[in-house]
Structure 1
Amino acid sequence: MLLQLSAAELGRLIVARAGSSHLPLTEQLIHEHSRLKGGAAGQGDIASWNNSVPVVVKALLDCGLDEVEVQVEVDLPHTNSAVDLVLCGRHPGTGTDSYLAVELKQVRHATVDPLCPIAVDLGFGDGKNKLHPVRQVQRYCEYMVRYLPHLRENEDQLMGVALLHNARDADVEALFGLPETDHGFLYTLDDLARFRRVLTSRFAAASGKRAASALEQARQDPLLKVTDVARQRSVVGGGLTLLDEQYVAVDRITRHLEKTTHFTGFDVGLFYDAEAAHSPAPDAGVKRVYILRGGPGSGKSAVALELQRALGLKGREAVLASGSHAYTETLREIMLSTARRGRTADKRRAANRLYRYFNSFSESPPDSIDVLICDEAHRMRRSSTYRWMPRNLRDDDRPQATELIRAAKVPIFLLDDHQSIRPDEVGTATYLKELAEDMGCDVEVTDLEGTFRAGGSKRFQRWVQQLLGLDASDPVAWRPDGRMTLTVADSPEQMERFIRERHWEGATARITAGFCWPWSNPDGEQLVDDVHIGDWRRPWNVKPEHSVPNAPRSDLWSTDRRGVDQIGCVYTAQTFEYDWNGVIIGPDLLFREGKFKVDRSASCDPAFRSPIDDAIVTRCVLNAYHVLLTRGVVGTVVYAVDPATHNELRRLITGAIGMQHYDGAQPKLTAEGSQLPPAYRRRHG
């Protein structure tokens, strides 16, 4: 949250000053944005503060609601999204806490995409559809209720509105076609009198400080991880609450299926249009390929699972494919765990049919699968040929992606352009788009720009890419943002102790490392301590083809609590996430002359043994560390084996690990620095 003041206090800040292009309120918000978020505010935000916020403040003052508290740019739990305004006060009838979420839009004209009623062109001239403002505030409210138990105590506490204060009804008429709910009403310039009536119905002329304080201090439920979402998929309404472009992507795909399927009564759209669903289905025509691109924690797997769940609830089977052994086997294991007595074999066959690998479609007839969801598509191989494939099926020249596109009526790819980690992995949005278009398909690319990992910190995601040189910027110092805890360990022993303490507290916590040590087969029933740094030695996670007592299989390493006893590699960590993330940067990544450089001679990855161009090895190593560094939900601890590299991390990261006392308890390792997680902050009273 950037700022909280009463309507009366804000009223004094929206009086223009001679010679200034910005209101005093706007100048204060620009300063707060720079201080809290570490960068300049966007022109859209500045224009909204200068032109839109005063409309709401004046409406409050006109209604005599001077003491209502106004919170500006309120962060949603666990994500980088924020509500423009949250008004806090007392209900005039009950005296209970009352809240109004307000999404402000300066648009004057808007049109709805004919293919998707929640995707709209708001007239910005960028050619990109946005989420319908009403749906946007509805989802924001649902998200707040989901993760803030305080708002669940009374379902009437929270209301949401989208205020288009510059637009006339006639110029945005199409927007009124979306059903309104208590979490989302639409008001325009023609409706300001109605908007004021909403204010007086929600708030009494009394102080809103108590309600504002209760909301700010409310306990937050933990973020559901991908595996949690998977376990809930058989429950109606289970899964993740999708936001913004996630929601548009899923609804657009399911709506496309509604309009092209021959399946009678198919109505899986997250927004159901009864008239459209029961109209004659048009010819499917040209095959359409969907590509959803997003960075770590952008919700790609959640979208994949939610899409498969929504289809399954309507009796439509969607196959989810991946190139990740750990991911696929974990999903199969979860489904198998739901088998009833005597039905294990049937459930295993169903799991193997619904969760498959990219290389299992070589013999699939064209269009034999209705919907094929390809998660982790950055792990797409050049071809499906593998070591044990029968000679008559080998075809090194046929791209693996063509097999997947050909096999499905509706192919969907979810990927991150910076997560291919093997030399023969070619899955990028550009590659797939060009290949699909060459096959005569229409292609739709959607960017998932939200961040649900790292406490919703987009700054952390950008920082990792800058650190590794994955964008045009040079490495920069980490500026804590209150969302993600980033700290440096002085030794692997210190990192391990810190990670284990988080594990003992009940958090999920793991250590991973670059592939710079051999990976031995087990010695009988014991893992070999391959990872050694000085006197510290620990084993890698179990190899996929082996099993060891008291250690999880490789595909369950990130989700089985016993995984804390082994060091994970990128092949077992990719796709998954855990609360606390320890990362050991091996000698294959060295900081020299102002940037990271790859030393391929220090890598023990067998994928680099054959003659491979240095540029490809560099890409794979940098992407592997990009994966490892972005697994954490709450915090990340790093340690570099190379002294010069470790010193550079020390320079760029202010957080340290050290011994401190909290509330008179025994000393324990904690993340120091200005951004301590709430659990470690001293509580008074």
Structure 2
Amino acid sequence: MLVYEGIKKEFLNSVEMDTIAEEIENTILEKMGRHTGKSEFDSWMNSMEYMYKVLNDKMIPENAGIAIEYNIPQTAKRVDFMISGYDEKNKPGMVIIELKQWQKLEKVDDTALVSTFTGHANRNVVHPSYQAWSYAQLISDYNTNVQDESIKLKPCSYLHNYVRRDNDPIDDEQYNIYTSVAPAFTRGQVFDLREFIKKTVKYGDNKEILYLIDHGKIKPSKSLQNAIASMIKGNPEFIMIDEQRVVYEEVIQLSEQCQKDRKKRTIICEGGPGTGKSVIAIQLLSELTQRDQFVQYVSKNSAPRQVYASKLKGTIKKSSVDNMFKGSGAFTEVGNNVINTLLVDEAHRLNEKSGMFSNLGENQIKEIIHSALCSVFFIDESQRVTMKDIGSVGEIKKWAKKENSEVYEMKLLSQFRCNGSNGYLAWIDDVLQIRETANFNLEGLDYDIRILDEPQEVLNLVIEKNKVNNKSRLLAGYCWQWPSKHRKDTTYHDIQIGDFGISWNLDNGQAFAISENSVHEAGCIHTTQGLEFDYVGVIIGDDMRYENGKIITDFTKRASTDQSIKGLKKLYKENKEEALKRADEIIKNTYRTLMTRGMKGCYVYCTDENLRDYMKKKINK
């Protein structure tokens, strides 16, 4: 959807009349029903003045098409600025410009990320050239008119407030793969940006190309279909077994039926740790894309998206596949039934509100069901680990009914993690007193579970196991502070237990589960849930202890930096019993989840000596 569209002459006139920001604001309200915040309005005022300077060149045709805030169909992504026309050979083309107000940034090693001040804090965000490239690639991969008419898309970024310096981080060698196809222009480079535009737009098109792009049907390109198919083929990470294949085939059948009769369907697939939910989701992503559907893999946490995209791509850094992975808050502005199928992994982690400040949308479950003809929720209610987690079978059914969507339920029962042992999972439930089970001991189970007396012993075992294939990690309960100023310093030991010290996993943009160096750091629930390893070490902190024959949970021992229990203190004042019940569920589910990340073994250290002794006895019974 084009928010603002016109030709260059009209755009220059609107800027000269100081009306351009109001025109954009009014159009967004009219077309999208959304009010514009002051900061966004001010950014238009600022950026459009700079784009006026850039386009104020007689060699850029007066009738070149201009689009501002182009909403890429079936997504919540908006392109800041587009200029369309024909090149010197009369080939259609469009320049895509990502505008930034930034004044400085720092590189984030070995990633496509940079660190800059945005949203009232320093944050890791994608390099502007990567962002511009990814938008161009998204349009190219899914817009049939771009494919059929061979419209050339040329992305770039323009940081008009940014003063470039020698050896500037924006130009670091690690970003060459993106800046080579989407150059970054900065303050003082108006003439350079003009020349870049003129290579693609020599003759005007009177908005014809903008019209083609805005009215192109959405369908994955053959190149994208072939790319993801080749990534899946022969990849042992995504091989399906037994009932996984049954669920996979049933979902395909229902999803394809949705596309034929245009009826909305919601599929709920329940399964415990290691039953293969993520494997099925990735296989469905590939297969349905090859069937001409616009499909996306969705998760609340970024860790699963980052890891599974990396496993698909292998050593490939720049791939269209990245656009197939979305956060659960990406659907607040997507229309009804405009996406073919959404595959929601870790659906128990869905939140009510979206956005950086939890101020966008109404309900993520509702918005996902609303956006897609077919929505598939992979869920394990026993893995809800924060106060904000609202994902439940009942909640999904409620919103499906309100959206007039048929509901289908499926279950995955066979355990493929923990050496295929449902008995180990039942033993954990018994030990943590989540529920009574018949598995009060580990007799006959082929799983390496040990309770150790020192945290260093746990780390040593993990490091040794990790030498085989980089698939072992140390995890910990969130009982130690995670200060932002030390998130890039591995020598600072956030977790200190006697003489033992280790840092939380670094905030460097690399996925903890696959980074080569993260074995020397500790991961938490937020960086490991939804993922699996061969072996895990787990440090159980002071939020869980054993006394008088009972497992006691204590949310006051959680670190204040832990957002999982935000709101619990307030609830405790209002309803003590309910607060303690919620806290008990969150803490036990957290450790249950951490202790089931290992496929072959789990090594545990408890800060509470009584809990260590109790767990040792439960192993040796």
Normalising by structure 2, report the TM-score: 0.58
Note if 1:363 corresponds to 2:320: no
Q: Matched residues in 2 for 1:609 and 1:312: separation?
A: 39
Note if 1:606 corresponds to 2:563: yes
* Alignment match, 2:270: 293
Match of 1:503 among 466, 469, 482: 466
Q: CA deviation at 1:422?
A: 1.1
* Alignment match, 1:38: none
Q: Deviations over 1:423-444 (max 9, x none)?
A: 0111112221233123322111
Note if 1:535 corresponds to 2:499: yes
Given that residues 372 and 410 in structure 1 are in contact (C-alpha distance below 8 angstroms), is that contact kept between their aligned partners in structure 2?
Answer: yes
* Alignment match, 2:449: 486
Choose 635-644 or 435-444, whichever is displaced more: 435-444
Structure (1 or 2) with the greater helix fraction: 2
C-alpha change, 1:591 and 1:305, in structure 2 (3 Å) is same
Q: Matched residues in 1 for 2:407 and 2:374: separation?
A: 11
Given that residues 430 and 440 in structure 2 are in contact (C-alpha distance below 8 angstroms), is that contact kept between their aligned partners in structure 1?
Answer: no
Q: Matched residues in 1 for 2:440 and 2:497: separation?
A: 27
Given that residues 578 and 632 in structure 1 are in contact (C-alpha distance below 8 angstroms), is that contact kept between their aligned partners in structure 2?
Answer: yes
Q: Matched residues in 1 for 2:540 and 2:228: separation?
A: 33
C-alpha change, 1:474 and 1:449, in structure 2 (3 Å) is closer
Q: Output the amino acid matched with 2:404.
A: G
* Alignment match, 1:521: 484
Q: Matched residues in 2 for 1:326 and 1:355: separation?
A: 11
Choose 518-527 or 616-625, whichever is displaced more: 518-527
Given that residues 231 and 334 in structure 1 are in contact (C-alpha distance below 8 angstroms), is that contact kept between their aligned partners in structure 2?
Answer: no
Note if 1:438 corresponds to 2:402: yes
The residue correspondences of 1:588-667 to structure 2 (distance < 5 A) are 588-604=543-559, 605-610=562-567, 611-612=570-571, 613-654=579-620
The residue correspondences of 1:310-459 to structure 2 (distance < 5 A) are 310-334=287-311, 339=316, 344=318, 347=319, 350-387=320-357, 394-395=360-361, 398-459=362-423
Q: Matched residues in 2 for 1:288 and 1:406: separation?
A: 10
Q: Matched residues in 1 for 2:336 and 2:259: separation?
A: 16
* Alignment match, 1:234: 231
Q: Matched residues in 2 for 1:436 and 1:259: separation?
A: 17
Q: CA deviation at 1:311?
A: 1.6
Q: Output the amino acid matched with 1:310.
A: E
Q: CA deviation at 1:233?
A: 6.1
Q: Matched residues in 1 for 2:267 and 2:323: separation?
A: 22
* Alignment match, 1:113: none
Q: Output the amino acid matched with 1:602.
A: K
Q: CA deviation at 1:420?
A: 1.2
RMSD of aligned residue pairs (Cα, Å) = 2.5
Given that residues 308 and 317 in structure 1 are in contact (C-alpha distance below 8 angstroms), is that contact kept between their aligned partners in structure 2?
Answer: no
Q: Matched residues in 2 for 1:258 and 1:324: separation?
A: 28
Q: CA deviation at 1:356?
A: 0.3
* Alignment match, 1:131: none
Q: Matched residues in 2 for 1:621 and 1:525: separation?
A: 27
Q: CA deviation at 1:582?
A: 0.6
Given that residues 540 and 568 in structure 1 are in contact (C-alpha distance below 8 angstroms), is that contact kept between their aligned partners in structure 2?
Answer: yes
Q: Output the amino acid matched with 2:563.
A: P
Secondary structure of the structure 2 residue equivalent to 1:234: helix
Q: CA deviation at 1:627?
A: 1.0
Identity within the alignment, %: 25
Q: CA deviation at 1:330?
A: 2.7
C-alpha change, 1:591 and 1:232, in structure 2 (3 Å) is farther
C-alpha change, 1:327 and 1:231, in structure 2 (3 Å) is farther
C-alpha change, 1:521 and 1:373, in structure 2 (3 Å) is same
Given that residues 581 and 632 in structure 1 are in contact (C-alpha distance below 8 angstroms), is that contact kept between their aligned partners in structure 2?
Answer: yes
* Alignment match, 2:202: none
Choose 634-643 or 600-609, whichever is displaced more: 600-609
Q: Deviations over 1:297-321 (max 9, x none)?
A: 0100011011112223333331111
Q: CA deviation at 1:591?
A: 1.8
Given that residues 289 and 411 in structure 1 are in contact (C-alpha distance below 8 angstroms), is that contact kept between their aligned partners in structure 2?
Answer: yes
Q: Deviations over 1:48-70 (max 9, x none)?
A: xxxxxxxxxxxxxxxxxxxxxxx
* Alignment match, 2:66: none
Q: Matched residues in 2 for 1:524 and 1:438: separation?
A: 43
Unpaired segments of 5 or more residues in structure 1? 1-229, 263-282, 548-552, 656-685
C-alpha change, 1:620 and 1:493, in structure 2 (3 Å) is same
Q: CA deviation at 1:507?
A: 5.5
Q: CA deviation at 1:647?
A: 0.8
Note if 1:574 corresponds to 2:518: no
Q: Matched residues in 2 for 1:353 and 1:445: separation?
A: 28
C-alpha change, 1:433 and 1:469, in structure 2 (3 Å) is farther
Choose 232-241 or 409-418, whichever is displaced more: 232-241
Given that residues 309 and 322 in structure 2 are in contact (C-alpha distance below 8 angstroms), is that contact kept between their aligned partners in structure 1?
Answer: yes
Q: Deviations over 1:309-337 (max 9, x none)?
A: 22233333311110011112233445666
Given that residues 584 and 641 in structure 1 are in contact (C-alpha distance below 8 angstroms), is that contact kept between their aligned partners in structure 2?
Answer: yes
Given that residues 239 and 279 in structure 2 are in contact (C-alpha distance below 8 angstroms), is that contact kept between their aligned partners in structure 1?
Answer: no
Q: Output the amino acid matched with 1:291.
A: I
Q: CA deviation at 1:524?
A: 8.9
Unpaired segments of 5 or more residues in structure 2? 1-226, 572-578
Aligned residue-pair number: 382
Given that residues 541 and 566 in structure 1 are in contact (C-alpha distance below 8 angstroms), is that contact kept between their aligned partners in structure 2?
Answer: yes
Choose 530-539 or 239-248, whichever is displaced more: 239-248
Given that residues 539 and 567 in structure 1 are in contact (C-alpha distance below 8 angstroms), is that contact kept between their aligned partners in structure 2?
Answer: yes
Given that residues 290 and 444 in structure 1 are in contact (C-alpha distance below 8 angstroms), is that contact kept between their aligned partners in structure 2?
Answer: yes
Q: CA deviation at 1:497?
A: 1.5
C-alpha change, 1:323 and 1:606, in structure 2 (3 Å) is closer
Secondary structure of the structure 2 residue equivalent to 1:361: coil
Q: Deviations over 1:165-186 (max 9, x none)?
A: xxxxxxxxxxxxxxxxxxxxxx
Q: Output the amino acid matched with 1:574.
A: Q
